[in-house]
Amino acid sequence: SWMKRCLLLLFLIAVSLPVAVKLPALIQHLVYTYRIRLPYFADLNRPAEFSLNHTINMYLTTEEGISLGVWHTVPDSRWKEAQGKDLAWYQSTLSDGSPVFIYFHGNTQTRGAPHRVGVAKVLSALGYHVVVPDYRGFGDSTGEPTEGGLTVDALYVYNWVKARSGDSLVIFWGHSLGTAVSTNTAVKLIEQGVVVDGVILEGAFNSARQKIPGHAFSWYYWRFPGQEYLFPEPWAENKLVFPTEENLKKMKSPILFLHSEDDHLVPPHVCEQMRDIAASYQSEERVKLVMFEGSLGYLHNGLYRDHRLPGILK
């Protein structure tokens, strides 16, 4: 049985070596758990199946070979009028004077995930438009995600909306990974002399490199013990930086942080720290933080359920 154990060990090493060599590529896939497309039985082409009956599905080509699946939900008050309407009608509504929110989602699932549909409903009920892309590689979008690619996608969606929204306010709502995409994109726009009208950051983390307990990406370290030793710079290797804290120093948009005290991925002090940095580079008036009580149990995804949210957003 000693021999057996030895053989088994040799066998395990032989099997796991190629996996270890391939790890950097594997990490990329694991970091963006974008392969998980739940609920897989529902068709992203039919937003009504997600109880969004005033929503159209469309595809935008953000660069050659990259097609993004995108939903556009019109303000709730127009739901009856929206029945059976085509893409041209939906696009024409974008200039109706109602603010347009572009929602950049987190690193799992698709634009159809229940907490994302939840945010779209809150915003739509307030009379706002909501545009929700799945980044490249997510949902039914083509391509593979990279940090740069996600920014290209987000910039494209912003410019697409701006070209159709007249004088309406255009606001980013980023959640989790989407907070990093939002700030990367806002800074790219600043470099072009464009200030986004407003940026909401829900469950924001401060950078891909930060190793704080309970950090959004720390699960990666406990899933692969020893990785820190084997690949001390996995983020650099995969070109994942997500320098949100640095971005906040350059941004000129009004910023609203939304966070739950019981956020199990990003502890509240991380958000408070970022609020302080952003406020010191802009002003207390332009940078707000609303912290939701831990007793409400919202964790990382659930604060869209709060009945005070509409009042806060107005």
Ligand X SMILES: *[C@@H]1O[C@H](CO)[C@@H](O)[C@H](O)[C@H]1NC(C)=O
Residue type, 139: G
User: If binding is defined by CB under 6 A, does position 79 make contact with ligand X?
Assistant: yes
Q: Does 76 bind ligand X (CB under 6 A)?
A: yes
For the record, the structure tokens of 203 come out as 């469950």
Q: What is the smallest separation between the CB atom of 126 and ligand X, expressed in angstroms?
A: 12
Task: Locate 271 and state its tokens.
Answer: 């958000």
Please tell me whether residue 85 binds ligand X under the rule CB under 6 A. Answer: no
Please give the residues from 220 up to 239 whose contact with ligand X meets the rule CB under 6 A. Answer: none
Active site residue 300: yes
The DSSP secondary structure of 184-204, one letter per residue, reads HHHHHHHHTT---SEEEEES-
Looking at beta carbons only, is 79 or 231 nearer to ligand X?
79
Is residue 49 part of the contact set for ligand X (CB under 6 A)? no
Q: Judging by beta carbons within 10 Å of its beta carbon (0-12, 13-18, 19+), is residue 117 exposed, middle or buried?
A: buried
Q: Nearest-CB residue to ligand X?
A: 53
Under the binding rule (CB under 6 A), the answer on residue 77 touching ligand X is no
Give whichever of 25 and 125 is closer to ligand X, judged by the CB atom: 125
| Least gap, CB of 48 to ligand X (angstroms) | 8
Judge whether 220 and 251 are in contact, CB under 8 Å: no
Nearer to ligand X, 51 or 95 (CB): 51
d(CA 129, CA 99): 6
| 47-59 residues labelled b (16+ CB within 10 A) or e (exposed) | beebebebbbbbe
List the catalytic residue out of 98, 129, 300, 306: 300
Question: Which one from 134, 153, 263, 306 is the annotated catalytic residue?
Answer: 263
Contact predicate 195/158, CB 8 Å: no
Query: One of 176, 182, 207, 260 is an active-site residue; which one?
Result: 176
Verify whether residue 306 is a known catalytic residue.
no
- Kindly state the smallest distance separating residue 181's Cβ from ligand X, in Å: 27
- Shortest CB 105 distance to ligand X, Å: 20
Please identify, using beta-carbon distances, which residue of 56 and 274 lies nearer to ligand X. Answer: 56
Nearest distance from C-beta of residue 143 to ligand X, angstroms: 32
3-state helix, strand, coil in the chain (%, to 5): 40, 15, 40
Nearer to ligand X, 126 or 256 (CB): 126
**Closer Cβ to ligand X, 34 or 128, answer by number:** 128
Phi, psi of 259 (to 5 degrees): -150, 150
CA distance 245 to 42: 37
Exactly one of 6, 21, 26, 53 binds ligand X (CB under 6 A); which one?
A: 53
Token pair belonging to 114? 């229940």
Binding-site size for ligand X (CB under 6 A) equals: 4
CB nearer to ligand X: pick between 126 and 196: 126
Residue from 273, 82, 68, 60 nearest 163 by CA: 60
Residues 116 and 132 sit within 8 Å (Cβ to Cβ): yes
d(CA 181, CA 175): 9
Minimum Å gap between C-beta 233 and ligand X is 47
Determine whether 263 is an active site residue: yes
If one asks whether residue 45 binds ligand X (CB under 6 A), the answer comes out as no
Least separation, in Å, of the C-beta of 261 and ligand X?
30
Catalytic residues: 176, 263, 300
Residue ranges that bind ligand X, judged by CB under 6 A = 53-54, 76, 79
